[in-house]
Amino acid sequence: MMEISVDQQVGPSKDLGGLSETKQEKIETQTQQNTSVQPEAKVWKFTKRTIQWILDKWLVVGIVIACIAGYFAPNVAKPHGYIHSEWSIIYGAVAIIFFVSGLSIQTEKLLIHFSNWRLHFTVQGLSFLFIPTIFFCIVLLVAKFGDHAVFDRQILTGMIVTGCIPTTLSSNIIMTRLSGGDEAAALVSVTVGNLLGPFITPILITNVFWPTMDRSFDSVRPASDLQQLRSLYADVFKQIGLTVLLPLTMGQLIQGYMGFETTSKWVKKMFLSRISTFCLTLLVWTAFSSCFATGSLQRMPKEFLILVIFVNIGLYIFFTSLCVLLSNVQIPYPSFQWREKKLGISRLQVLDRGVFIAISFCAPAKTTGLGLPIVTAMWTRYPEEMKAKIQIPVVLYTIEQIFIAQALVWWFSRGTKRREEANRQAATAEA
Q: Is residue 47 part of a domain?
A: no
> Would residue 374 count as lying in a domain?
yes
pLDDT number for residue 288: 79
Question: Residue 342 — left, alpha, or beta (φ > 0 → left; ψ -120 to 50 → alpha)?
Answer: beta
Distance (Å) of CA 216 to CA 134, 144, 400: 20, 10, 29
The confidence score (pLDDT) of residue 34 equals: 55
Domain presence at residue 313: yes
The answer to whether position 121 is within a domain reads yes
Please indicate, yes or no, if residue 224 is contained in any of the structural domains: yes
Note whether residue 102 is domain-resident: yes
Q: Which amino acid is at 112?
A: I
Cα dist. 302→142, 162, 298, 314 in Å?
16, 20, 9, 18
Please check whether residue 162 is in contact with residue 371, taking contact to mean a CB–CB distance below 8 angstroms: yes
Instruction: Give residue 431's pLDDT.
Output: 60
Query: How many Cβ atoms are within 10 Å of 399's Cβ, its own excluded?
Result: 21
Q: Pick 100 or 56 by higher pLDDT.
A: 100
Q: Are 359 and 322 in contact (CB under 8 A)?
A: no
**What CATH number did the domain enclosing 191 receive?**
1.20.1530.20
Distance between CA 198 and CA 239 in Å, rounded?
A: 12
Worst-scoring range by mean pLDDT, 102-106, 216-220, 235-239? 235-239
Question: What is the pTM for the complete model shown?
Answer: 0.76
Q: In this model, does residue 161 exceed pLDDT 60?
A: yes
Structural domains counted in the chain: 1
Report how far apart, in Å, the C-alpha atoms of 186 and of each of 52, 93, 123 are: 29, 18, 10
User: Residue 405: which of 323, 346, 333 has the closest Cα?
Assistant: 323
Q: Are 371 and 402 in contact (CB under 8 A)?
A: no
Kindly indicate the confidence band of residue 9, based on its pLDDT and cuts at 50, 70 and 90: very low
Residue 296 is part of which domain span?
Answer: 59-413
Range 350-384 burial, b when 16+ CB lie within 10 A, else e = ebebbbbbbbbbbbbbbbbbbbbbbbbbbbeebee
Percent pLDDT > 90 in the chain is: 16
> For residues 168 and 398, is the Cβ–Cβ distance under 8 A?
yes
Res. 162 pLDDT band, cuts 50 70 90: very high
Calculate the CA dihedral of residues 293, 294, 299, 304 and round it to 10 degrees.
Answer: -100
DSSP-derived 3-state class of residue 197: helix
Residue, of 331 and 207, whose pLDDT is higher: 207
Cβ count near 253 (within 10 Å): 13
Is there a contact between 168 and 128 (Cβ–Cβ < 8 Å)?
no
Q: List pLDDT tens digits, range 262-300.
A: 998 898 888 888 888 888 888 888 877 877 887 777 777
Q: What is the mean pLDDT of residues 361-378?
A: 84
Does 180 reside within a domain?
A: yes
Residue 151 maps to a domain: yes
- Residue 220 is predicted with a pLDDT of 87
CA–CA separation, 60 vs 384, rounded Å? 32
